[in-house]
Structure 1
Amino acid sequence: MKKLLLAAAITTLSLSAAQAAPTLYGKLNVTIDQFNNKDFGNENVTEVNSNASRIGVKGEEKISDTLSALYLAEWEISVDGDEKDEQTFKKRNIYAGLKWNGIGTLKAGNYDSYFKTAAASKNDIFNDHTFDMTSMMYGEERLKNVIGFETDPKLLAGVGFNLMLQQGEDKTAGGDNGIGDAISSSITYENKDLGLALALAGDFDVQGKYSASSFGSTKQASDAFRLAGSYDLGKIGVTGLGLNALYQTAEATSSAGEAVNLEEDAWLVNATYKIGQTPWTVKAQYQTADTSWTGNDRTVDQYGVAVDYALNKQAKLYGLLAQQERDWGTEDTQSVFGLGMELNF
């Protein structure tokens, strides 16, 4: 009997440990890219790039029938070996939180702003590549020192409310040191039966880059609004075709330094078409950003196409061709032709 009870106890502990085990996940996204006039210079170069390849662990611990503790820790890895500042791992989303089943999730840590996630992957077919939205538009930020709450979309028939408070933690006199010094928020809606997804997002005093400005590498505290939408035309008989669009406007809230009257208007539109029962998907995208500040007005545009070949649900081969044009500087175009493989696990 003692041996039987011991075996049962060990089995119970083993099952509990198995249920609590973290999940290892990641993405390897490697391309061979041929750049012409890279960074609007006069350099033509062939590169192997990692494109934000990543690895992470995540998990959820059940506390009660309605409450769970959850966690996620994710790092960018350099598949091509070009670690910046000798960093093999670069932190991405890292957080811990509590999840109330059917109500929502409270998270704290360092993770993507709700302004950024409002776009979702469908609104940028070059996501993670050198020529993705980040290279042109304000708002693609991962915020540190944040507390966020996300309602469960099932609670309100597909509508989700998301609110993120960022603490400035500035110890200098007059600096930001209270709760919610910056705010990122969004309202989302998704209905898979209709093939429709919508999002309205707002940033308030959130630091972000204006890439088309002369000080594009310096983040500026800004207020911004973003509207994004996706529609699956297969729901009305055009099987395989999806349309996606995004519009946003941003304005710096500080007039310090060069950022006087700094504003940006940007938008993009793209289409994806999966060819019947084949593994082929064709994509096309146009995006533009107009940035102005006192005495200056600059515009950058991008045109691009991509073709995916799905090997299975986790892996694909792809090719892309894109060009950016700007209306200032001695070199006004840069372009890329790339071939790559993406593997998710």
Structure 2
Amino acid sequence: MMKKLLLAATVATLSLSAAHAAPTLYGKINLTLDQVDNSDFAGNNVTALNSNASRIGIKGEEKLTDNISVLYLAEWAISTDGSGSDTDLSARNRYLGLKFKDIGSLKAGKYDSYFKSAAGNNQDIFNDHTILDMTSVLHGEERLNNVIGFETDKNLIIPGLQFNIMSQQGEDTKTDNTTLGQEGKRNGFGDGISTSLSYDNKDYGLSAAIAGNFGVAGKYNAYSLSGIYSDAIRVTGSFDFSKYGVDGLVFGALWQNAKPTDDTVLTVSGTGTSAVTTTFKGLEEDAFSLTAAYVIPSTPWKIKGEYVESNTSVDSRSDRKISQYGLGVDYNLNKQARLYGVLAQQKRDWLASDDKKTVVGLGMEYNF
């Protein structure tokens, strides 16, 4: 009798263990050696080894019932070069949530805004590069704290159509954010909203999305302003010509507009009688990008090109334009690893001299 009880307990324990799916360990190491001429727009050059958004994380999905599963993900930055923009083991995306079969997923934590994720790799060929990522040119590339988001299943209504909405809680009972573009305090539910509607149709090679931010903090590169609560709209799309006889050719495009939620942005420098107040009445940014990528058939080579531009206006001042254009070449060793090179230049048209920064880089990326 005792042996039977022990056998039954062992079988039950093994069954329980088997029911729990193991988490997936994943990550990416991305390193480049970059020669940057006029790196600070003040005539100085630098040779730098850059860790381009290298990361490590765990993720998983655990079935609770036939219709509900738990989702989780936790991701950290890896400073592969030991310095620079990637603070070692700093928080990247992370969330805990529930997935409802054939309906959608509810997530809570810190992760990329739906405005940001509406632009895929076909709209930003230098994505993750420390210097050339389009976040250095245009508004809206934020990862948001304290958010609750819902993502519909891509087959809920029409195959390939997905709606996403994210609510951000400001959790601040003391600060008046008027000078940062949003009047009053951010102390309630939905102080910021990020949303997107996307459509993918692989049969036609089409991918498109429209996204909006409302009261979400972002930066305006032309004036070195950050944390400005803004309303923005983004439209993106890409077209794969493989379905029409041109294997490996993809075009991408993006357009967006951003401005403060309330037109109240100002900065104060200095203290006391020497304090200087600068207003940014009428602050607004229009931006777009155009990209092309071509995978040479039956070879490991891929050629990419991009042009991205932002135009920022403020009342009673001349507009400021940032433009960036460049080429990239990939050599895919396999599905996980690639060697690549980049050649790009960024121009800031309001500078009287040293208005161009040039980057030449060689790198390797490995995904696991």
TM-score range, shorter chain: over 0.9
Cα 1:128–1:84 change in 2 (3 A) is closer
Please tell me whether the aligned partners of residues 215 and 231 of structure 2 are also in contact (alpha carbons under 8 angstroms): yes
Query: Which residue pairs with 1:196 in the alignment?
Result: 206
RMSD: 1.5
Residues 194, 71 of structure 1: CA spacing in aligned structure 2 closer, same or farther, 3 A cutoff?
Answer: same
Alignment correspondent of 1:137: 138
Displacement of 1:6 after TM fit?
A: 4.4
CA deviation after TM superposition for structure 1 residue 84, in Å: 6.5
Written as runs of structure 1 = structure 2, the 5 A alignment for 1:233-252 is: 233-252=241-260
Assess if the C-alpha contact under 8 Å between 2:217 and 2:226 holds in 1: no
Distance 2:85 2:319 in 1: 33
Q: How does 1:249-260 map to 2 (within 5 A)?
A: 249-254=257-262, 255-257=264-266, 258-260=279-281
Instruction: Tell me the residue number matched to 1:77.
Output: 78
User: Does 2:18 correspond to 1:15?
Assistant: yes
Following superposition, the deviation at residue 169 of structure 1 comes to 1.1
For 1:123-134, what aligned pairs fall within 5 Å after superposition? 123-129=123-129, 130-134=131-135
Name 2:31's counterpart in structure 1.
30
CA drift of 1:4 comes to: 4.1
Please tell me whether the aligned partners of residues 212 and 234 of structure 2 are also in contact (alpha carbons under 8 angstroms).
yes
Residue 133 of structure 2 aligns to which amino acid in structure 1?
Answer: D
- Is there any run of 5+ residues in structure 2 with no aligned partner, and where? 176-183, 267-278
CA deviations 1:144-180 (Å, max 9, x no partner) are 1111100011112211111111111111174121111
- 1:293 aligned residue: 314
Instruction: Give the superposition deviation at 1:205.
Output: 1.4
Letter in 1 for 2:33: I
Q: Are residues 1:89 and 2:89 paired?
A: yes
Q: Percent identity?
A: 55
Return closer, same or farther for 1:84/1:235 CA change in 2, 3 Å cut-off.
Answer: closer
Amino acid at match of 1:172: K
Partner AA of 1:15 in structure 2 = A
Alpha-carbon distance in 2 for matches of 1:128, 1:260: 32
| Aligned-residue offset at 1:218 | 2.1
CA contact (8 A) 2:122 2:250 kept: no
For 2:303, the equivalent position in structure 1 comes to 282
Instruction: Name the counterpart of 1:269.
Output: 290
Q: How does 1:30-109 map to 2 (within 5 A)?
A: 30-82=31-83, 87-109=87-109
Q: How does 1:200-239 map to 2 (within 5 A)?
A: 200-213=210-223, 216-239=224-247
Q: Indicate conservation of the 8 Å contact 2:51/2:84, yes or no.
A: no
Which residue number in structure 1 is paired with residue 167 of structure 2?
165
2:210 partner amino acid: L
- Write the deviation string for residues 124-153 of structure 1: whole angstroms up to 9, x where unpaired: 000011111100110000011111100011
Q: Please tell me the residue identity of whatever aligns with 2:292.
A: A
Q: 1-side partners of 2:121 and 2:297: how far apart?
A: 22
Deviation at 1:68, TM superposition (A): 0.6
Task: Indicate the larger mover: 168-177 or 299-308.
Answer: 168-177
Question: In structure 2, what is the equivalent of residue 176 of structure 1?
Answer: 186
Is the 1:252–1:259 Cα contact (8 Å) retained in structure 2? Answer: no
- Answer whether contact 1:26 1:54 (CA < 8 A) is retained: yes
Asked if structure 2 preserves the Cα contact closer than 8 Å seen for 1:94 and 1:111, the reply is yes
More divergent stretch after superposition (171-180 vs 130-139): 171-180
Distance 1:338 1:248 in 2: 29
Query: What's the CA shift for 1:217?
Result: 4.1
The residue number in structure 2 matching 1:324 is: 346
How far does residue 29 in structure 1 lie from its aligned partner after superposition? 0.4
Shift of 1:13: 3.4
C-alpha change, 1:269 and 1:83, in structure 2 (3 Å) is closer
In the alignment, structure 1 residue 149 sits paired with structure 2 residue 157: no
The runs of 4+ residues in structure 1 deviating greater than 6 Å are none
Return the alpha-carbon distance in structure 2 between the equivalents of residues 41 and 100 of structure 1: 54
Q: What amino acid is the match of 1:190?
A: D
Give the length in aligned residue pairs: 340
Q: Distance in 2 between matches of 1:273 and 1:247?
A: 22
Letter in 1 for 2:361: G
Hey, what's the Cα distance between the residues in 2 that align with 1:83 and 1:297?
Answer: 31
